[in-house]
């Protein structure tokens, strides 16, 4: 399924299978998760994607000799810049990203640099494993950057939050979930996932929060989350794109509150999270689409209609 120009529907194209270059592995794709970032790429909210482009960066595939491998968003780094050499390859200035700079997994085959591929834990079928590869591991990085916060707020209950909630409960944190006002199905889902309170995103929780993670791409949620924080608390923005953040009084930031973003992932994040997931154990809830239904999956994600994570079956 190929993006030819931002803002257009993906097209089902017949193209030659990609040829692996030295260091790359050729995979037959079994499943590919649909991420909100794919939507930002398709809608033209992220600059300069490769075009034409095969989107998708939560790829579960198999090599010719039957090994099962995961391909995440971070597809290549230079290994030499100041960020790479200081253990921050997620910030590499020359990084190439799967399904953005490199063709991704909305396809029958994909090639990937084997150094950036990840092991898929046993006990997950292909469809359930796919959302671990971005929703899970970037969510995990966001959770790590929230520090040791005991009272954690989650804003926006999509694929990532539904995984992070399980990990955070496993770590013994107390959870407060925020959804769109009036979305009763989302509120019920939030409570099922172990939040002790679920409310609308413009509501204040019954207690102040030590940290909040904002998954929804909605700038208004940043001051809303700051308002819910205790002194010294953090707001972590987990998405790659967000609408503008409205101005807010300095008193919301005062008392050492912090606003920060999370960008991409390191291979270490991936290895840590994929080792942790089966211990929790994280159970992913997936809505499955056939490859040629990728546009439907993106439309449903855009409208906020996916419960858990959308995954393409290839």
- Residue ranges binding Zn ion (CB under 5 A): 35, 37, 77-78, 81, 84, 92, 134
Q: Quote the strand ranges of 245-300, DSSP E.
A: 258-261, 286-290
* Cis peptide bond N-terminal to 63, omega within 30: no
Which residue in this structure is represented by tokens 């996916």?
306
Query: Minimum distance from CB of 73 to Zn ion (Å)?
Result: 5
Bridge partners, residue 312, by sequence = 32, 289
Distance separating alpha carbons of residues 224 and 250, to the nearest angstrom:
13
Do 105 and 57 meet the contact criterion of CB atoms below 8 Å apart?
yes
Give the DSSP H or E segment for 275.
helix 267-276
Which residue in this structure is represented by tokens 């040629």?
292
In the bound state with Zn ion, the residue whose beta carbon lies nearer, of 201 and 266, is 266
In the bound state with Zn ion, the residue whose beta carbon lies nearer, of 46 and 230, is 46
Distances from the Cα of 301 to the Cα of 6, 7, 33, 112, 146, angstroms:
17, 15, 12, 26, 26
Query: Minimum distance from CB of 229 to Zn ion (Å)?
Result: 26
Query: Minimum distance from CB of 242 to Zn ion (Å)?
Result: 14
Query: Minimum distance from CB of 36 to Zn ion (Å)?
Result: 7
Dihedral angle of Cα 39, 45, 49, 55, to the nearest 10 degrees: 0
In the bound state with Zn ion, the residue whose beta carbon lies nearer, of 34 and 198, is 34
Query: Minimum distance from CB of 55 to Zn ion (Å)?
Result: 10
In the bound state with Zn ion, the residue whose beta carbon lies nearer, of 90 and 201, is 90
In the bound state with Zn ion, the residue whose beta carbon lies nearer, of 130 and 224, is 130
Q: Quote the strand ranges of the chain, DSSP E.
A: 24-34, 59-62, 68-71, 74-76, 96-97, 109-113, 118-119, 151-155, 174-179, 197-200, 209-214, 229-237, 258-261, 286-290, 309-313
In the bound state with Zn ion, the residue whose beta carbon lies nearer, of 77 and 234, is 77
Query: Minimum distance from CB of 140 to Zn ion (Å)?
Result: 12
Do 289 and 297 meet the contact criterion of CB atoms below 8 Å apart?
yes
Backbone angles phi, psi at 306, to 5 degrees: -90, 130
Query: Minimum distance from CB of 299 to Zn ion (Å)?
Result: 18
Do 195 and 165 meet the contact criterion of CB atoms below 8 Å apart?
yes
In the bound state with Zn ion, the residue whose beta carbon lies nearer, of 84 and 167, is 84
In the bound state with Zn ion, the residue whose beta carbon lies nearer, of 226 and 282, is 282
CB-hemisphere CA count at 13 Å for 229? 29
Token digits for 228? 């819910």
Query: Minimum distance from CB of 240 to Zn ion (Å)?
Result: 8
């Amino acid at each position: 399924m190929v993006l030819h120009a931002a803002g257009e529907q993906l097209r089902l194209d017949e193209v030659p299978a990609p040829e692996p270059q030295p260091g790359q592995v050729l995979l037959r794709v079994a499943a590919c998760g649909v991420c909100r970032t794919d939507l930002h790429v398709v809608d033209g909210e992220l600059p300069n994607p490769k075009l034409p482009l095969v989107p998708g960066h939560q790829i579960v595939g198999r090599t010719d000799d039957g090994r099962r491998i995961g391909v995440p968003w971070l597809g290549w780094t230079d290994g030499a810049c100041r960020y790479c050499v200081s253990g921050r390859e997620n910030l590499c200035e020359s990084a190439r990203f799967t399904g953005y700079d490199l063709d991704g997994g909305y396809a029958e085959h994909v090639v990937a640099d084997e150094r950036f591929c990840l092991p898929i834990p046993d006990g997950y079928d292909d469809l359930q494993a796919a959302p671990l590869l971005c929703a899970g591991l970037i969510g995990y990085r966001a959770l790590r950057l929230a520090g040791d916060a005991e009272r954690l707020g989650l804003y926006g209950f999509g694929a990532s939050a539904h995984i992070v909630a399980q990990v955070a409960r496993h770590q013994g944190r107390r959870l407060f979930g925020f959804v769109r006002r009036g979305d009763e199905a989302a509120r019920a889902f939030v409570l099922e996932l172990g939040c002790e309170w679920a409310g609308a995103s413009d509501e204040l929780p019954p207690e102040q929060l030590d940290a909040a993670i904002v998954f929804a791409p909605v700038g208004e949620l940043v001051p809303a989350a700051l308002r819910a924080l205790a002194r010294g608390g953090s707001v972590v923005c987990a998405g790659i794109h967000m609408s503008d953040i409205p101005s807010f009084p300095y008193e919301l930031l005062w008392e050492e509150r912090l606003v920060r973003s999370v960008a991409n992932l390191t291979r270490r994040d991936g290895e840590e999270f994929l080792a942790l997931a089966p211990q929790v154990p994280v159970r992913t809830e997936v809505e499955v689409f056939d490859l040629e239904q990728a546009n439907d999956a993106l439309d449903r994600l855009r409208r906020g209609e996916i419960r858990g994570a959308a995954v393409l079956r290839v």
